Amino acid sequence: MKYDLIISGAGCIGLTFACLMAKSGLSVAVLNNTDIYARNVLGIGKKRGHDNKRFGVYNPPEILGQLPSRLFAIAAASLDIFEKAGILEVLKEHAQPINKILIGDHNNHEQLIFDPKEIGRDDFGCMLDERIIAKALIAEVQRHQNITLYKNVEINSIIYSPHHNQLHLSDGTTLLCDLLLVSEGKHSKTRKILGIETKNINYNQDVIICDIEHEVDHRGVAVERLLTTGPFAVLPRVGGHKSGIIITGSGGTGRLLASKSGRDIEYIVKERLGDCLGDIKLASSIAYFTLHLIYAKKYTESRAALCGDAMHSIHPIAGQGLNLGLRDIQLLAQLINENISLGLDIGSKRMLSRYSLQRDFDINLMISSTHNINGIFASDFLPIQLLRRAGIQIIKNVSPLKKYVMSYASGYKY
């Protein structure tokens, strides 16, 4: 079977790109190594459990297995991409606008307040649960007759030719395509098959996520407190009285918290949060995973391109991972549409070179920014603490710089 485009990986990035390209008239196949609906909507098929070195879930007895939400901070510019994919109106029903962002340095008691009205916007974007986005994308994909879903398969080998790639799948199927997009995540098998090497930095940190209910309305304010153990974030959910919690700690913190009771977790969250949201109650199980910076040393191969976490899995300190991946496919869609309009090959070497060159600056800026910010705020070295304080003061007091940072958070250039 021959397709114009094959996408390996059915996460939010891969499915969004499938919708964009289907609207351009391409024949598209999406491959995933689990049942797509079960993995993205029901949470079945993801690796969980304490024997997994990368991901674990602990269920306090009083929570009864309620999985924590995986909240994404969707920049305003990223919502434009979802609109082009055809899912924005569905997402709006479940979106919590980000009305303000508070960033505080715990050691220096310094605080930055980002207000979107300073850059002429009502909000910076919104918070959305991954499962909501995935469900909307799957429904949209199923409306396109030119998208074919392949469940429970993965690519075993690739044979290159001047005019197409031949993919041999794990179920014995052989598919041909003009262009292969790899959107499988940071541990991508297909990236390895393509021979693309990666750089891997272990942060020796765990991220722990859970949901809470709270007495005081969050009013759409996202909070990030920068601690020496790692950032602590409060992400507002729809309804005003529920939020997602992200705790970053040193390696092993996730397993340690897995031994605590629900009341212990509430105490740990309250200690970091303070009284701004009143009384709190744990509302989900606790999930945790280890943090690594993994990025590809090149972005393309013959008639193949990487995107999303398969290309760059960054530190979550800025909450920009999904937005960065959406910008990957936004550019690739633009380049493909240009080639279609000119009657050119959508898998041409020239087009893929343009993709690599035009994405390189944005990706490296985000990698270096998140990596260095994490290192600076994790340090208790006095000169570094003074540097942090000075940096926050400069952003607070230099209006053009503050506006640039806020515009970057919204996804638009100021």
pLDDT digits (tens, 9 = 90+) for 81-139: 999 999 999 999 999 999 999 988 766 677 889 999 999 999 999 999 999 999 999 99
Between 63 and 152, name the one with better pLDDT: 152
CA distance 244 to 214: 11
Q: Which residue type occupies 173?
A: T
Looking at the chain, the whole-number percentage of residues with pLDDT higher than 70 is: 87
Q: What pLDDT shows up at residue 111?
A: 84
**31 close to 6: Cβ distance less than 8 angstroms:** yes
Q: What are 144-187's pLDDT values in tens digits?
A: 999 999 999 999 999 999 999 999 999 999 999 999 999 999 99
**Domains in the chain: how many in total?**
1
User: Which is more confident, 41 or 151?
Assistant: 151
The rounded mean pLDDT for the chain is 88
DSSP secondary structure string for all residues of 101-138: EEEEETTTTEEEEE-GGGGT-S-SEEEEEHHHHHHHHH
Instruction: Evaluate if pTM is beyond 0.85.
Output: yes
| pLDDT at residue 263 tops 50 | yes
Give the DSSP letter string of 263-317. HHHHHHHHHHHTTTT-SEEE-S-EEEEEEEEEEES-SEETTEEE-GGGTEE--GG
The residue count of the chain comes to 414
Tell me the CATH number at 32: 3.50.50.60
Q: What is the pLDDT of residue 186?
A: 93
Show the domain range for 356.
Answer: 2-410
